[in-house]
Amino acid sequence: MLSSTPIRPGSRPRTLAAAALLGLLAVFFLPAGPADASAPLRQHAAARGKFIGTALATGPLSNETQYRNIAATEFNQITAENAMKWDATEPNQGQFNFSGADTIVNFATQNNQQVHGHTLVWHNQTPGWVQGLGATAMRSAMQNHISQVVGRYANNAAVVSWDVVNEVFEENGNLRSSFWYNTLGQSYIADAFRYARAADPDARLCINDYNVEGINAKSTAMYNLVRSLREQNVPVDCVGFQSHLAIQYGFPSDLRQNLERFAALGVQVRITEVDVRMQMPRSSSKDTTQANYYRDVIQACLAVNACAGVTIWGFTDRHSWVPDTFSGEGAALIYDENYQQKPSYTAVHNALDGGTPSDTTPPTTPGTPAASNVTGSSATLTWSASTDSGGSGLAGYNVYREQGTTDPQLGQSSTNSINLTGLSANTQYQVYVRARDGAGNLSSPSSAVTFTTTGGGGPSGPCTATGTVQTQWGNGYVIQPVTVTNSGSSAINGWTVTFTLPAGHSVTGSWNATLTTSGQTVTAKSMGYNGNLGPSASTSFGFQVSRPNGNTQTVSGYTCASP
Ligand code: XIL
């Protein structure tokens, strides 16, 4: 029902809690402010004054957490896929079973979702006992069914609308020769609406059909019926366009125009069961086409004020009627069978979030990075910042090593500086930066900076160094020789050997190299006379160290770089 208070299936509103919950419902159903770009579908839909709904099946609803979570989070409208149909609610005459229907309605109530009741009078999923009745008995069975089912939820705040009659037309626009029509004649349609109005004066009452999305013989027959019923004061409030589409049959490009002609009759319109199937297997180009269909359906509804919203017939390919119904077809929904969002999800999302045009403008190119604090395994890079004008805003920077083929990313930073760690010692790096915006656009690469890490324990560069302990005593030792070898294929012009002193050790003398010490790190540079080494040539140097009395450690681990 559309109006005031209540909440629980079959009960009237009595409590303040019910009123408070109604306030919450209003928050979700009324137009709100602009929605966050990454918000769930329902938030964007609410911001546009529309619902975005899904059909739910009771099996996965009780068995699958992911199914429940997505259904609760993404949608603000629910239709029972099967649980409110006649064969579920009144399998035997006068014996009603609302267990599935209540499950759906309770779920919707808990999640501040509106429920569209589906469906009261249909030629499918209606038990044999109904189909075999004579005219008088059939009419009263229909009246009783409608009054029991609609009446049960008449005072339930979540249940706001009903499909009163479903699929009453043939493709050519004739009324379908169903058991309803064949037994009762055309009057069953008006009667059904009147019984529903009597059972819940506040519910929005709909006629629903498929292949009526475009302007064609069937939709024109529906248009004429709705106009004629309303002229006779039959309470038809709403027209549902199922929209079971297939990419191989094309998009009904006059959908919006068709919705508008119905709206001009004074009825609400809604997309009630959209799915977009394809011939299997899926492909990325089919996915793209499908996404465009979903986008166009959403945009048609957004463009028509009288369109209340869009219900997708399920949401995950894991649970879809399509493969069971259309041989060789499937993948019709917006999540795949593993609950991963498909391109069609993004299309629905972006169409609902249409207030913000998507950002395709990359940020400006960052400045050339400058390297500082270069060690054997780390370096600091700083560059002048980029700006972003595309709307999504500057999100940060990606830092890459230039390697000619695919350049590996060394790190990411949200500021115009980064401390790179885990670098290889004695290694030359050419590094450049690209800026990234909130939409994922990357700027052009900056110019590269080139730096070489120092020795420090990693694999060495174009030379190697190995040290030998020549002699040692209680509080000191001599390393002689440290053999430096050109391990490359071209001559080197100077070498630098780096090693680390154990704690408490200090250098007391050296020969054939110039040693400088910083903390425990010692850098030994070649002299003018022993720096030039051809490939495989060697030279050596030595040094003496003092250490705490009783300490037995010696220096080990030398790295060599050139120059
Ligand atoms: C389908 C359900 O999705 C299936 O699970 C069921 O087996 C058959 O009905 N038009 C309608 C829906 O109005 O009720 C139908 O739902 C799909 C076509």
Q: Distance, CA 403 to ligand 1 centroid (Å)?
A: 56
Q: Any residues with Cβ below 6 Å from ligand 1, and which?
A: 81-82, 166, 242, 273, 321
Q: Which two tokens stand for residue 156?
A: 């339930």
pLDDT digits (tens, 9 = 90+) for 20-42: 444 444 444 444 455 677 899 99
Q: Distance, CA 118 to ligand 1 centroid (Å)?
A: 10
Closest ligand 1 atom number to CA of residue 320: 3
pTM exceeds 0.75: no
Report the pLDDT averaged over residues 48-75.
98
Catalytic residues: 167, 273
pLDDT higher than 90, residue 403: no
pLDDT digits (tens, 9 = 90+) for 457-475: 434 458 989 999 899 998 9
Higher pLDDT, 441 or 116: 116
Closest ligand 1 atom number to CA of residue 55: 3
Tell me the C-alpha distance between 196 and 240, whole Å.
16
pLDDT higher than 50, residue 149: yes
81: β partners: none
Closest ligand 1 atom number to CA of residue 313: 3
Closest ligand 1 atom number to CA of residue 57: 5
Tell me the C-alpha distance between 90 and 134, whole Å.
18
Tell me the C-alpha distance between 109 and 158, whole Å.
6
Three-class secondary structure of residue 368 per DSSP: coil
Tell me the C-alpha distance between 563 and 323, whole Å.
69
Rounded to a whole number of angstroms, the CA Rg of the chain reads 37
Q: Which residues 6+ apart lie within 8 Å of 545 measured at CB? A: 476, 477, 478, 479, 501, 505, 506, 507, 508, 554, 555
Higher pLDDT, 356 or 152: 152
Q: Distance, CA 313 to ligand 1 centroid (Å)?
A: 9
Q: Distance, CA 213 to ligand 1 centroid (Å)?
A: 17
Q: What is the pLDDT of residue 282?
A: 97
Q: Which residues 6+ apart lie within 8 Å of 75 measured at CB? A: 41, 42, 52, 53, 54, 113, 315
Q: What is the pLDDT of residue 391?
A: 73
Task: Name which residue sits closest to atom 12 of ligand 1, judged by CA.
Answer: 81
Task: Name which residue sits closest to atom 5 of ligand 1, judged by CA.
Answer: 321
Tell me the C-alpha distance between 24 and 481, whole Å.
82
Task: Name which residue sits closest to atom 3 of ligand 1, judged by CA.
Answer: 321
Tell me the residue type at 390: G
Q: Distance, CA 321 to ligand 1 centroid (Å)?
A: 7
From 192-206, 297-311, 329-343, 433-447, the region with the lowest mean pLDDT: 433-447
Report the pLDDT averaged over residues 510-528.
94
> What is the length of the chain?
563
